[in-house]
Amino acid sequence: MPYIIIISVVLLILIIGIALYNSLIRKKNDVENAFASIDVMLKKRYNLIPAIVDAVKGYMKHERILLTEITSLRAQALLDDLNNDHRVIIENKIQKGISELFVAVENYPDLKASQNFLHLQGSLNEVEEQLAASRRAFNAAVTLYNNSIEVFPSSIIASMMNYGRRTLFEIPESERENVSGKALLERQ
Protein backbone atom coordinates (compact mmCIF):
# COMPACT_ATOMS: atom_id res chain seq x y z
CA MET A 1 0.00 0.00 0.00
CA PRO A 2 2.68 2.60 0.91
CA TYR A 3 4.39 1.77 -2.39
CA ILE A 4 1.30 2.67 -4.35
CA ILE A 5 1.08 6.04 -2.60
CA ILE A 6 4.77 6.77 -3.20
CA ILE A 7 4.54 5.73 -6.85
CA SER A 8 1.44 7.86 -7.45
CA VAL A 9 3.02 10.89 -5.79
CA VAL A 10 6.17 10.47 -7.91
CA LEU A 11 4.05 10.04 -11.04
CA LEU A 12 2.02 13.14 -10.22
CA ILE A 13 5.16 15.22 -9.71
CA LEU A 14 6.54 13.88 -12.96
CA ILE A 15 3.38 14.76 -14.89
CA ILE A 16 3.28 18.26 -13.43
CA GLY A 17 6.98 18.64 -14.22
CA ILE A 18 6.48 17.61 -17.85
CA ALA A 19 3.51 19.95 -18.22
CA LEU A 20 5.47 22.89 -16.84
CA TYR A 21 8.47 22.01 -19.00
CA ASN A 22 6.32 21.89 -22.13
CA SER A 23 4.60 25.13 -21.34
CA LEU A 24 7.96 26.86 -20.82
CA ILE A 25 9.24 25.54 -24.16
CA ARG A 26 6.07 26.77 -25.84
CA LYS A 27 6.43 30.21 -24.32
CA LYS A 28 10.08 30.42 -25.32
CA ASN A 29 9.15 29.47 -28.89
CA ASP A 30 6.42 32.11 -28.92
CA VAL A 31 9.05 34.68 -28.02
CA GLU A 32 11.36 33.49 -30.83
CA ASN A 33 8.46 33.51 -33.21
CA ALA A 34 7.46 37.03 -32.29
CA PHE A 35 11.05 38.17 -32.67
CA ALA A 36 11.17 36.67 -36.15
CA SER A 37 8.07 38.62 -37.14
CA ILE A 38 9.83 41.85 -36.15
CA ASP A 39 12.70 40.84 -38.38
CA VAL A 40 10.35 40.30 -41.32
CA MET A 41 8.96 43.80 -40.91
CA LEU A 42 12.42 45.35 -40.59
CA LYS A 43 13.42 43.67 -43.86
CA LYS A 44 10.31 45.08 -45.50
CA ARG A 45 11.37 48.50 -44.33
CA TYR A 46 14.89 48.04 -45.70
CA ASN A 47 13.38 47.12 -49.06
CA LEU A 48 11.34 50.29 -49.13
CA ILE A 49 14.23 52.65 -48.35
CA PRO A 50 15.92 52.61 -51.81
CA ALA A 51 12.57 53.29 -53.49
CA ILE A 52 11.88 56.23 -51.18
CA VAL A 53 15.37 57.66 -51.67
CA ASP A 54 14.94 57.31 -55.45
CA ALA A 55 11.58 59.03 -55.38
CA VAL A 56 12.76 62.04 -53.40
CA LYS A 57 16.27 62.66 -54.68
CA GLY A 58 15.09 64.30 -57.90
CA TYR A 59 13.23 66.92 -55.88
CA MET A 60 15.40 67.43 -52.82
CA LYS A 61 18.30 69.76 -53.33
CA HIS A 62 19.57 70.44 -49.82
CA GLU A 63 19.24 67.00 -48.25
CA ARG A 64 21.91 65.11 -50.20
CA ILE A 65 23.87 64.29 -47.04
CA LEU A 66 20.80 62.95 -45.27
CA LEU A 67 19.95 60.74 -48.23
CA THR A 68 23.47 59.31 -48.43
CA GLU A 69 23.44 58.67 -44.71
CA ILE A 70 20.14 56.77 -44.85
CA THR A 71 21.40 54.66 -47.75
CA SER A 72 24.64 53.79 -45.97
CA LEU A 73 22.81 52.97 -42.73
CA ARG A 74 20.57 50.61 -44.64
CA ALA A 75 23.64 48.89 -46.12
CA GLN A 76 25.08 48.50 -42.62
CA ALA A 77 21.84 47.10 -41.26
CA LEU A 78 21.82 44.43 -43.95
CA LEU A 79 25.21 43.08 -42.85
CA ASP A 80 24.82 39.62 -41.34
CA ASP A 81 27.41 39.75 -38.57
CA LEU A 82 25.68 42.50 -36.66
CA ASN A 83 25.19 41.98 -32.94
CA ASN A 84 21.84 42.88 -31.44
CA ASP A 85 22.92 46.04 -29.62
CA HIS A 86 24.61 47.46 -32.67
CA ARG A 87 21.58 46.64 -34.69
CA VAL A 88 19.26 48.52 -32.36
CA ILE A 89 21.54 51.58 -32.64
CA ILE A 90 21.46 51.44 -36.45
CA GLU A 91 17.68 50.91 -36.39
CA ASN A 92 17.27 54.00 -34.26
CA LYS A 93 19.43 56.03 -36.63
CA ILE A 94 17.44 54.83 -39.64
CA GLN A 95 14.25 55.73 -37.84
CA LYS A 96 15.55 59.20 -37.07
CA GLY A 97 16.84 59.70 -40.63
CA ILE A 98 13.50 58.76 -42.16
CA SER A 99 11.66 61.09 -39.76
CA GLU A 100 13.93 63.95 -40.81
CA LEU A 101 13.39 63.07 -44.45
CA PHE A 102 9.62 63.24 -44.08
CA VAL A 103 9.83 66.54 -42.25
CA ALA A 104 11.97 67.89 -45.11
CA VAL A 105 9.37 66.75 -47.65
CA GLU A 106 7.10 69.48 -46.31
CA ASN A 107 9.32 72.01 -48.14
CA TYR A 108 8.68 70.40 -51.53
CA PRO A 109 5.01 70.73 -52.48
CA ASP A 110 5.53 69.03 -55.87
CA LEU A 111 7.05 66.02 -54.21
CA LYS A 112 4.32 65.89 -51.60
CA ALA A 113 1.70 65.79 -54.33
CA SER A 114 3.42 63.15 -56.45
CA GLN A 115 1.46 59.91 -56.73
CA ASN A 116 4.55 57.77 -56.50
CA PHE A 117 5.65 59.45 -53.30
CA LEU A 118 2.18 59.22 -51.74
CA HIS A 119 2.11 55.55 -52.56
CA LEU A 120 5.52 55.00 -50.96
CA GLN A 121 4.50 56.99 -47.93
CA GLY A 122 1.42 54.78 -47.54
CA SER A 123 3.58 51.67 -47.81
CA LEU A 124 6.01 52.98 -45.24
CA ASN A 125 3.21 53.87 -42.82
CA GLU A 126 1.91 50.36 -43.33
CA VAL A 127 5.27 48.78 -42.52
CA GLU A 128 5.73 51.03 -39.50
CA GLU A 129 2.30 50.12 -38.20
CA GLN A 130 3.00 46.43 -38.66
CA LEU A 131 6.39 46.84 -37.07
CA ALA A 132 4.78 48.47 -34.05
CA ALA A 133 2.29 45.57 -33.88
CA SER A 134 5.12 43.02 -34.08
CA ARG A 135 6.97 44.73 -31.26
CA ARG A 136 3.87 44.75 -29.11
CA ALA A 137 3.27 41.07 -29.87
CA PHE A 138 6.90 40.37 -28.94
CA ASN A 139 6.52 42.26 -25.67
CA ALA A 140 3.34 40.36 -24.83
CA ALA A 141 5.11 37.04 -25.48
CA VAL A 142 8.13 38.10 -23.41
CA THR A 143 5.92 39.20 -20.51
CA LEU A 144 4.19 35.80 -20.45
CA TYR A 145 7.55 34.06 -20.64
CA ASN A 146 9.18 36.20 -17.94
CA ASN A 147 6.22 35.71 -15.62
CA SER A 148 6.36 31.98 -15.96
CA ILE A 149 10.09 31.66 -15.32
CA GLU A 150 9.80 33.72 -12.17
CA VAL A 151 6.63 32.28 -10.70
CA PHE A 152 6.72 29.18 -8.51
CA PRO A 153 6.73 26.25 -9.33
CA SER A 154 7.71 26.75 -12.97
CA SER A 155 10.67 28.84 -11.77
CA ILE A 156 12.34 25.60 -10.55
CA ILE A 157 12.08 23.98 -13.97
CA ALA A 158 13.21 27.23 -15.62
CA SER A 159 16.35 27.41 -13.52
CA MET A 160 17.08 23.75 -14.31
CA MET A 161 16.75 24.60 -18.01
CA ASN A 162 18.92 27.69 -17.59
CA TYR A 163 16.22 30.00 -18.84
CA GLY A 164 16.81 33.65 -18.04
CA ARG A 165 14.71 36.78 -18.30
CA ARG A 166 14.32 38.35 -21.73
CA THR A 167 14.31 42.08 -22.13
CA LEU A 168 11.27 43.88 -23.48
CA PHE A 169 11.52 45.88 -26.64
CA GLU A 170 11.45 49.49 -25.66
CA ILE A 171 9.26 51.37 -28.04
CA PRO A 172 11.19 54.59 -28.55
CA GLU A 173 9.40 57.88 -28.06
CA SER A 174 10.25 58.92 -31.61
CA GLU A 175 8.51 55.83 -32.92
CA ARG A 176 5.36 56.52 -30.98
CA GLU A 177 5.17 59.75 -32.89
CA ASN A 178 5.97 57.74 -35.98
CA VAL A 179 7.49 58.59 -39.30
CA SER A 180 5.29 60.89 -41.21
CA GLY A 181 4.58 62.91 -38.12
CA LYS A 182 1.80 65.07 -39.43
CA ALA A 183 -0.32 62.47 -41.20
CA LEU A 184 -0.05 60.01 -38.38
CA LEU A 185 -0.87 62.56 -35.76
CA GLU A 186 -4.20 63.07 -37.43
CA ARG A 187 -5.29 59.62 -36.40
CA GLN A 188 -4.70 60.29 -32.72
Interface residues toward other proteins, by CB under 8 A: 34, 37, 121-123, 125-126, 129-130, 132-134, 136-137, 139-141, 143-144, 180, 183-184, 186-188
State the virtual CA torsion across 113, 116, 122, 126 in degrees, nearest 10: -160
Strand extents, DSSP E, the chain: none
- The nearer residue to other proteins, 88 or 184, going by C-beta atoms, is 184
- The nearer residue to other proteins, 73 or 127, going by C-beta atoms, is 127
- Contacts of 171 by beta carbon, 8 Å cutoff, 6+ apart: 132, 135, 136
Query: Min. distance of Cβ 139 from other proteins in angstroms?
Result: 7
Query: Min. distance of Cβ 119 from other proteins in angstroms?
Result: 8
Which sign does the torsion angle of CA 29, 32, 33, 34 carry?
positive
- The nearer residue to other proteins, 84 or 188, going by C-beta atoms, is 188
Rounded CA separation 126/40 (Å): 13
Query: Min. distance of Cβ 136 from other proteins in angstroms?
Result: 5
